[in-house]
Chain A
């Protein structure tokens, strides 16, 4: 009986020991499980992080590429804008040139529209006022007999204010001799000096100078000459010279023709003796 009881006790002990071991084992397994979970979590986290980094890298590269593209587009835009500015400036230049040519066309058309000497002079005066922008000036022609320069038309001054000068004398005489235009450094002078025009342009047919245009004062609003003005002056002077020369010749020949005609008529009508 006692033995039986002892046997039961031992078995119970064994069970208890077994349960204890089982408990410890279970605890160990749980601990291990916990560790593994933690490790898994770590691995998952690291995997996620490495994925983010890759994406970030990818994004960064893309951003760099886009920034590069933006910069290159900006450069292109700046270049195109610059070209546009150039084109706009050229367009304005061409427009200006076109307008000046149109002005010149009208001026030369008017100059050659008549053979009347006084009308040609009137047109020359109009052109100098309206196209060149002169307020005081004189149109001076060479007198072939005396070799003197005499005013034939004036504006803003009296013909008597313009001195008679010999070819080669002073600015006007020098221009008539050399056939080269004279432009003073300061065109804005307001003092009238008959010997010192601010601009003097020879009236020249090829190399033959027939006179000059002497400008003493520009219009108040005309501060100075632009490149186009210099060009315009020289071109107009050429056209004016031809128009003045041919109209003067025509007027002279008309006068001679009338005289000769009158003489012939007189001879015809002369009673025979």
Chain B
């Protein structure tokens, strides 16, 4: 059963993504409201198989979270998909350079999100 960590400060967006993840067979969604909360969830007993992460968040933003995850040997191989309103090419490049696996600008196309999640879970 894959555990998907959704890191997003907007409750609407969190619910929206969690709702979309119901289409992934047997997926279990764990929600986090910011980067710090995400790190707490990562260090809990749950084995996280994939992270869906926003960029603009209070307390700790998505880019900082990605660099910390990539720097930790325990989590460095977890695929990370950025889901963000930042649609500029330089933002995408920056996120990928830090270690994100994929970059999906908002408003999200649910099919595309599901396709990406399925691809990374299969790998």
- Which residues on A are within 8 Å of B, measured CB to CB? 92, 95-96, 99, 102-103, 105-107, 109-110, 123, 126-127, 129-133, 135, 219-222
Contacts and interface: CB of A to CB of B under 8 A. Distances in A.
A219 B105 CA distance: 9
B12 A130 contact: yes
A130 B106 contact: yes
B20 A102 contact: yes
A130 B87 contact: no
B20 A129 contact: no
A219 B15 contact: no
Q: Which of A99, A110, A123, A130 has the most CB of B within 10 A?
A: A130
B24 interface: no
A129 B13 CA distance: 10
Interface residues of B, number: 18
B58 interface: no
A131 B20 contact: no
Contacts of A131: 16, 107
A132 B85 CA distance: 11
Contacts of B10: 126, 129-130
A132 B15 CA distance: 16
Contacts of A109: 15
B85 A130 contact: yes
B111 interface: yes
Contacts of A219: 85, 87, 105-107
A131 B19 CA distance: 14
Contact of B12 (A96, A107, A221): A107
Contact of A123 (B12, B87, B88, B106): B12
A10 to B, nearest CB: 121
A135 B12 CA distance: 17
Contacts of A220: 87-88
Contacts of B15: 106, 109-110
Given A99-B20, A220-B88, A110 B11 contact: yes
Q: Which of B10, B105, B107, B108 has the most CB of A within 10 A?
A: B107
B105 A221 contact: yes
7 contacts: A95-B111, A99-B109, A99-B110, A106-B12, A123-B12, A130-B16, A130-B106
Contact of A99 (B11, B12, B106, B111): B111
A135 B108 CA distance: 15
Question: Which 3 pairs, one residue from A and one from B, show the smallest C-beta to C-beta distance?
Answer: A221-B87, A99-B110, A133-B107
